[in-house]
Amino acid sequence: MATQSRLKGKRIAALVTDGFEQVELTSPREALKTQGAEVSIVSPKRDKVRGWNHDQPADSFDVDVPITEAVASDFDGLLLPGGVQNPDHLRTDAFVQKFVKDFFLQHKPVAAICHGPWTLIDAGVVKGRRMTSYHSVRTDLKNAGAEWVDEQVVVDNGLVTSRNPSDLEAFNAKIVEEYAEGLHEAQHA
């Protein structure tokens, strides 16, 4: 399959720490790279992060940009893979919260899958949004003011959410579309 260039020149930040669901990083990253995007792993960890396959440790990945050096204006979009441990650790980091919120303040597309929306809750950016997530995150999103729906992929003014790895095909197609569109002026933080 020939590489497309729909996302040529676009830089996407994949924000993770240890314990992310590996396929929720690798599958979207491959879809984005196939379309010409550069995907950088941003993390509170400085050297490497380890993915998980459900409840088992998986592969390690190099960190491209430590969160303390990451600036949202250097990127065109944000990707938040899930896994339980990953967003549970990310959501309590003040640098992560600022980095995430800055994407919304700059009207840039953001994508979160599975437990990834937990990080969005603590960044204070879900109130009034229509979203989906892994079913166990539903109540947290509702309590934070989001309208939770049980759908494969949901888009709300540049925010793309999906439920779990079985939704990756639809999620990947939609994030390519949203990152290609770029800024979303109606987005609010």
Which residues are annotated as catalytic? 114-115
Three-state SS for 88? helix
Give Cβ neighbours of residue 12 (< 8 Å, ≥ 6 apart).
32, 37, 38, 39, 40, 75, 76, 77, 78, 79, 179
Q: Report in angstroms the alpha-carbon separations of 173 from 30, 54, 95.
A: 12, 23, 29
Q: Give the SS3 label for residue 156.
A: strand
Residue 18: half-sphere exposure toward Cβ, Cα within 13 Å:
6
Residue 75 in tokens: 């990127």
Q: Do residues 12 and 32 lie in contact, with contact meaning Cβ atoms separated by under 8 Å?
A: yes
